[in-house]
Amino acid sequence: MRHNLPGGKSEMNEQPNHDSEQKMQTMTDFETKLRASAPEPREGFEAELAQHLRQEFVQRRQARQVLRAIPSRRYGRLSARVAVALIAVLTIGIGVVIAMNTIFQQFVDYDAGLKAIYEQGLGHEIGISQTHDGYTVTLEWAYADGNRLTLAYVIQGHSEVQYTNLSSDRYTLVLRDTGAEIPFMQGMTGAWIDNSGEFVGLNPDHEIPTGDRSLLVLTYDLSGIETGDRTTLDLHLEVGVYGITLQRRTQMPIEQFNEMKEGPEGFFAFDFSIDLTTERRVFDTQLAATDQDITLRLREVNIAPSQTRVVICFAPPDPARQWTAIPSLTTTQGEVSGGGGVRPFMDGDETCQDYTYFAGMFDYTGEWRLEISELVGFGSGGGSDQQRIPGSWVFEFVVP
Amino acid sequence: MHDPVDEQALIQRAIDDPDAFQELYTRYVRRVYSYVASRIGHRQDAEDVVSEVFLRVIKNLDQLRQRQQTSFAAWLFVIARHAIADHYRKNGHSEEYISLDVAELCAPAEKQPDHLLSHNEESAYLYSLILTLPERKREIITLRFYGGLRNQEIAKVLGIGEKTVSAYLSRAVNDLQEKCHAAQSARGQIRDE
């Protein structure tokens, strides 16, 4: 039976709105039930975890405050207050702080991935030293993830001697259990620290910077090493060391640079272990792009906390040449910086390029864009013997 | 839902202030636990993963400060997803496994107790239904109703469009509602028999 409502509308005309509201209410009730179905933690879990996290938080922040107490200054003397902090730090054995903070803060800017690792406190402070023939090598810090292993050590020469160079000509790293050598990827030498713990920049009395300690930061390629289900790496490092004194440097012609070197016989050997950060996001793909009748395939994108790697393969346009592709990798945040080189390899008839970016992209979940703008083939006639093929090969993807 | 301005201020303080960090933790721990536990059926493992999530937050919180456009909730649940994936990699599971108590709850309607479901039992049943959804729908449902994320935040976490999230969410909720009604009808029929 129909009933006329005030205003002349029949109840039936009102029915659809009532049904919609009813449906919405039912939906809202259902969503409320969905929320209520959420698993809940056992009693006491949140409080226990809160306590554990507070301890962890306080420890990490205390460690960071020690590092921040020492400013990075290129010129000038440290204030007395900071000098006292340095002495205190040395007393409790965190000798890494001098080298790590003052020099790392300057050099990690060149490696966004390393910077992300260092600032997150993900590396390991090691602090083991050896002395031979008046030279001391201290293995200070190391970090390893699925793609790279980076370590830092300080070389100290004879006291009271001014050096212009303290460096390594050997830095072999192997896994102790398998003897597998981990390939070296790149290195950088840090600046100098003098024997009072001051960072030394340009010495106004000399054109050539001098000091008695240097920091070396070396990166090795772990991506091709089978680490299995290891969560710890047992490593053996052999370091060869040389120094060039200011006296030799200024008294001998530069053409005799190798003859200027002096240092201990043999090498320094370190056996140590570090945790392997196993976080890695790997995107195996068969995305293809074709231009100029050449098809490029994006084979893999591999993201570790300190490094991103991209592998591209293609059939070489001219098999007699060595081919490389010119990439540009961008995200919604802009161009991915920190290009660390390319490792070419052959896979059957295809030439492949394994590009490395020293960037901390692990938490990025948005879109990526890889564009190859040119292929360059190098012939046997030297650097000028090039064939260049411009084009546009574009890959757009999201890494799960 | 917290005031975004208030939350930004809290995050800034939480980088160095343990009390502020604890407040941030208190706001999110239950949501993170619910999401993680729905993806990892084992309680102890879920607790371990939740602990790992917040340890990573402690390590990386000052990095978030530099990403001014990023929602903390979205960032937190990205960490949670990664921690879950790492858990499966470490433990060799290729698929999520469901704990025994939930499997029992997935029993056919005729084996359910012959009376109306209590609130807790209804919740458990809904939870078991969610676990039967396809991966993508399940992920979105749990991020929304257990993690408490908005569609925009879910889109950021999963790296998909917001409209896609809305579409999946709508379909997933409809699917669940239909299954619930079907189960209630079946129970009613069994009771009538």
Q: Can you name the residues that pair with B124 across neighbouring β-strands?
A: none
Average pLDDT over residues B11-36: 92
In the predicted model, is pLDDT for residue A92 greater than 50? Answer: no
Q: Do A39 and B89 touch (CB under 8 A)?
A: no
Confidence of residue A327 (pLDDT cuts 50, 70, 90): confident
Query: Measured between beta carbons, which residues in chain A are less than 8 angstroms from residue B38?
Result: 38-39
Q: Average pLDDT in the A237-241 region?
A: 91
Is the per-residue pLDDT at A87 higher than 70? no
Q: In the structure encoding, which two tokens stand for residue A227, read together?
A: 């680490």
Contact B26 A33 (CB under 8 A): no
Interchain CB contact of A50 with B (< 8 Å): yes
Q: Model confidence over A6-56: pLDDT tens digits? A: 333 333 333 445 556 665 666 688 888 888 888 888 889 999 999 999 988
Q: Which residue of A has its CA nearest to B127?
A: A37
- Test B47 with A366 for CB contact under 8 angstroms: no
The verdict on A53 touching B (C-beta cutoff 8 Å) is yes
> Which position has the higher pLDDT, A243 or A87?
A243
Neighbouring C-alpha atoms within 13 Å toward the C-beta of A204: 3
Confidence of residue A349 (pLDDT cuts 50, 70, 90): confident
Sheet holding A334-335, edge to edge: A334-335, A322-331, A367-378, A386-398
- Residue A324 β-bridge partners: A376
| C-alpha A16 chain-centroid distance | 61
Closest residue by Cα to residue A152 from A195, A190, A117: A190
C-alpha to C-alpha distance for A73 and A75, rounded to whole angstroms: 6
pLDDT-based confidence at residue A296 (cuts at 50, 70, 90): very high
Q: B112 is in which domain, residue-wise?
A: 4-192
Q: With a cut of 80, say whether residue A369 has pLDDT above it.
A: yes
Residue A288 reports pLDDT greater than 90:
yes
Is B18's CB within 8 Å of A56's CB?
no
- Kind of pairing between the strands at A367-378 and A281-291: unpaired
Q: Which residues numbered 163-222 in A keep a CB inside 8 Å of some CB on B? A: none
Tell me A254's DSSP state. Answer: G
Residue A379 to residues A354, A373, B102, Cα–Cα distance (Å): 21, 20, 65
Q: Choosing among A29, A58, A363, A367, which should be mutated to test the B contact, i.e. which has the most B CBs within 10 A?
A: A363
The tens digit of pLDDT for each residue in B86-139 reads 888 776 554 444 433 333 333 333 433 333 344 467 777 888 888 878 888 889
Please report the ipTM that was assigned to this predicted complex. 0.83
Looking at the complex, does the CB of residue A38 fall below 8 Å from at least one CB of chain B? yes
Q: Is B18 in Cβ contact with A41 (below 8 Å)?
A: no
Confidence label for B148 from pLDDT (cuts 50, 70 and 90): very high
Residue in chain A closest to B20 (alpha carbons) equals A54
Query: How many Å lie between the alpha carbon of B78 and the closest alpha carbon of chain A?
Result: 7
- Write down the pLDDT at residue A320: 86
Q: How many domains does chain B have?
A: 1
Put simply, whether A293 touches B (Cβ < 8 Å) is no
Rounded to a whole number, what is the distance in Å from the CA of B147 to chain A's nearest CA? 9
Instruction: Say whether A281-398 and A103-275 share the same fold.
Output: yes
Domain-wise residue ranges, chain A:
43-100, 103-275, 281-398
Q: Most B CBs within 10 Å: which of A24, A109, A365, as the mutation test of the B interface? A: A365
Count of A-B CB contacts under 8 Å: 121
Q: For A281-398, which CATH superfamily applies?
A: Conserved domain protein. (2.60.40.1640)
Distances, alpha carbon B2 to alpha carbons A88, A130, A353, B24, B70, in Å: 43, 55, 47, 11, 15
Rg (chain A; Cα; Å) = 30
B5–chain A nearest CA distance, Å: 23
Q: Are B169 and B153 in contact (CB under 8 A)?
A: no
| Residue A350 sits at the chain B interface (C-beta within 8 Å) | no
Q: How confident is the model at residue A208 (pLDDT cuts 50, 70, 90)?
A: low
Give the per-residue pLDDT at A4: 36
**Would the CB atoms of A30 and B173 count as touching at under 8 Å?**
yes
Chain B contact present for A35, CB below 8 A: yes
List CB contacts (< 8 A) between B54 and chain A: 49, 53
- Structure confidence at residue B147 (pLDDT): 95
Give the residue from A275, A297, A397 showing the smallest Cα distance to A351: A297
Largest CA distance in chain B: 65
Mean pLDDT of chain B: 77
Q: Tokens standing for A67?
A: 């590092």
Q: Side by side, which strands form the sheet with A281-291? A: A281-291, A294-304, A307-314, A350-357, A339-347
- Mean pLDDT score of chain A: 75
- pLDDT for A392 equals 93
Asked whether residue B47 carries a pLDDT value surpassing 90, the answer given is yes
Task: Please provide the DSSP assignment of A356-396 as one string.
Answer: EE----TT--SEEEEEEEEEEEE-TT-TT-EEEEEEEEEEE
Could you give the CA distance from residue A374 to residue A353 in angstroms, rounded to a whole number?
A: 13
pLDDT (tens digit per residue) in A139-186 = 988 899 878 899 888 888 888 888 888 888 888 899 888 888 898 877
User: Which homologous superfamily does the CATH classification assign to the domain defined by A103-275?
Assistant: bacillus anthracis domain (2.60.40.1630)
Three-state SS at A195: coil
User: DSSP character for A255?
Assistant: G
